[in-house]
Amino acid sequence: MASHFESPLREPLIFGNKTYKQITNDIVGPTTGKVQPKWLFWTLVSAAVAGLFVFCITWEVCFGIGTWGANKTVGWAWDITNFVWWIGIGHAGTLISAILLLFRQKWRTGVNRAAEAMTIFAVVCAGQFPIFHMGRVWDAFFIFPYPNTRGPLWVNFTSPLLWDVFAISTYFTVSLLFWYTGLVPDFGTIRDQSKTPGRWKFYNFLSFGWVGSAKHWERWESLSLILAGLSTPLVLSVHTIVSFDFATSVVPGWHTTIMPPYFVAGAIFSGFAMVLTLMLVARHVMNLQDYITLAHIESMNKVMLLTGTMVGIAYLTELFTAWYSGNMYESYAFANRAFGPYWWAYWSMMFCNLVSPQVFWFRKLRRNLWVTFAMSILINIGMWFERFVIIVISLHRDYLPSSWVYYSPTWVEIGIFVGTIGLFMTLFLLFCRFFPAIAIAEVKSILKVSGNQYRQGQLDEVKDQEVYKNTSVEAGTWD
């Protein structure tokens, strides 16, 4: 009895005639054994880049926000661009694990664990920017409503900036709970495969003493499902609220109702791009080709094609609305984006986000690893430019021509941004080494339906049935 029905014509999600035992060995394997020199090298490089973050942040805290290029006219610049970029990247993990769980998309099991980890690390990076943009970072706790002796002076509950505080902190907490609860059974598996007492203790601590009893699994499944149900509106709300930071203002170019759906689509777009960038490398280095198959990559490319095109439509709609509004400030804001001093940022964004993903209309290109990798990098760049375009170009020429400026970042801003990439990579590399990079239990639970050897059996069964008469059901034709 299979756990769910799937058409036998569908591509298998697990290759290599895996057994339950092999799945355990394949995924626990990378967490054991000697440290690979390659891994150590890249982790040290990433940690050094993360060190740059610490250095630049320290510099900024010591000498103040004046060390940044952001100033009176362009009050929000690289910091908020980077914040929105990282938060967007952080959307794919929860989308994959929550929304795809609700839609019963089984292909999520191969990638959800790493994508969720990526979400958490991306939100960690994102959080740095608004916190350190406060300048007096030691007063950062003022953003939380707590009874105080200053009046009482409360935070403004009707401000989108405060909504953001709640949205981001809730998103981080819920994602962390979701991710960790999923990890607990897999830590139990690693514990039981441990050869040394130190390792056993370490993974037992992480596994909370998990043994896989039937009642525990029942509660675990129920919890996962409800957390997925909660995370689905949550993940949509987070980037909606991020977009409110702009949409509820009265700055031409920001003050548009199209912002929430456009931001959410963009977030999913960039998130999947980052998942692909990381997974294509991890899959190769950790030999996970049997679990992260071309089918997984193709599915993600399809999502990117959809969301990229949605973002593209939003760009065009914005232009149309600006022209149709007849409002000269609104029209100027968009003309300035395309033909002003930052034209290169605008057209980079257009090319990376709208034009280039169209290659994914072709199946051959969707299933080409090099094309996918190149596209994932392009999209990451494009989505960064999108935020830069929205934030900096809308601000740098305000209502008063005497205060117009051409903003460029200082080395401190660049260092902080590059540093967060180092921080992100360090966390991700540590995750790949010490944590199960693929959800072991979840992959096992789909093996009998989506494993290639079982799919072959299903195909043989239906070969002679009337409905499949005109279809080619030869196994192994999926590539």
Site residues (vs other proteins, CB under 8 A)? 1, 3-4, 19-21, 24, 145, 151-154, 157-158, 160, 162-163, 166-167, 170, 173-174, 177-178, 181, 184-185, 188-189, 191-193, 204-223, 225-227, 230-231, 233-234, 237, 241, 244, 440-442, 444-445, 448
Q: How far is the CB of 240 from other proteins (least distance, A)?
A: 8
CB of 97 to other proteins, least distance (A): 13
Nearest distance from C-beta of residue 212 to other proteins, angstroms: 5
Number of Cβ within 10 Å of residue 445's Cβ equals 17
As measured in angstroms, the least distance from the Cβ of 20 to other proteins is 4
Min CB(371)–other proteins separation in Å: 34
Q: Measured from the CB atom, is 234 or 304 closer to other proteins?
A: 234
To other proteins, the closest distance from the beta carbon of 32 in angstroms equals 14
In Å, how far are 122, 164, 234, 261, 400 from 143, measured between CA atoms? 21, 10, 21, 27, 32
Smaller CB distance to other proteins: residue 157 or 344? Answer: 157
Give min distance, CB of 179 to other proteins, in A. 11
Residues pairing with 14 in the sheet:
451
**Considering only CA atoms, which of 123, 96, 122 is closest in space to residue 108?**
96
Residue 113 or 337: the one with the smaller Cβ distance to other proteins is: 113
Spatial distance between the Cα atoms of 13 and 452, rounded to a whole number of angstroms: 7
Closest CA to 338 of 348, 324, 327: 348
Provide CB contacts within 8 A for 449, sequence distance 6+.
2, 3, 4, 5, 6, 106
Residue pair 6/415 in contact by the 8 Å Cβ criterion:
no
In the complex, minimum distance from the CB of residue 439 to other proteins, in angstroms, rounded to a whole number = 9
Residues 365, 369, 372, 375, CA torsion sign: negative
What distance in Å separates the CA atoms of residue 381 and residue 285, rounded to the nearest whole number? 24
What's the CA gap between 2 and 115, in Å, rounded? 27
Is the CB of 163 or the CB of 428 nearer to other proteins?
163
- The two tokens of residue 177 are 């709970």
> 116 vs 318, which CB is nearer to other proteins?
116
Give the Cα separation of 323 and 434 in Å (integer): 54
Least distance from other proteins to the Cβ atom of residue 80, Å: 19
Distance in Å, CB of 214 to other proteins, minimum? 4
Region of 404 (left: φ > 0; alpha: ψ -120 to 50; beta: rest) is beta
Q: Which is nearer to other proteins, 298 or 442 (CB)?
A: 442
User: At 333, which helix (H) or strand (E)?
Assistant: helix 328-339
Interhelix angle 160-192/440-450, rounded to 10 degrees, is 80
**DSSP H or E stretch at residue 241:** helix 214-247
Closer to other proteins by Cβ: residue 35 or 214: 214
Closest approach of other proteins to the CB of residue 230, in Å: 5
Output the smallest distance, CB 177 to other proteins, in A.
Answer: 5
Question: Considering beta carbons, is residue 174 or 276 the nearer one to other proteins?
Answer: 174
- In whole angstroms, the minimum distance from the beta carbon of 443 to other proteins comes to 8
CA 472 to chain centre: 37
Q: What is the DSSP letter of 26?
A: H
Other beta carbons within 10 Å of 212:
12
Residue 231 or 376 having the CB closest to other proteins? 231
Please say which residue, 3 or 287, places its beta carbon nearer to other proteins.
3
Query: Which is closer to other proteins, CB of 241 or CB of 393?
Result: 241
**Contact, 422 vs 437, CB < 8 A?**
no
Query: CB-wise, 21 or 34, nearer to other proteins?
Result: 21
Strand (E) or helix (H) holding 24: helix 20-28
Separation between Cα atoms, residue 4 and residue 451, nearest integer Å: 13
Measured on CA atoms in the order 30, 35, 37, 40, is the torsion positive or negative?
positive
Separation of alpha carbons 56 and 264, rounded Å: 31
Which is closer to other proteins, CB of 67 or CB of 445? 445
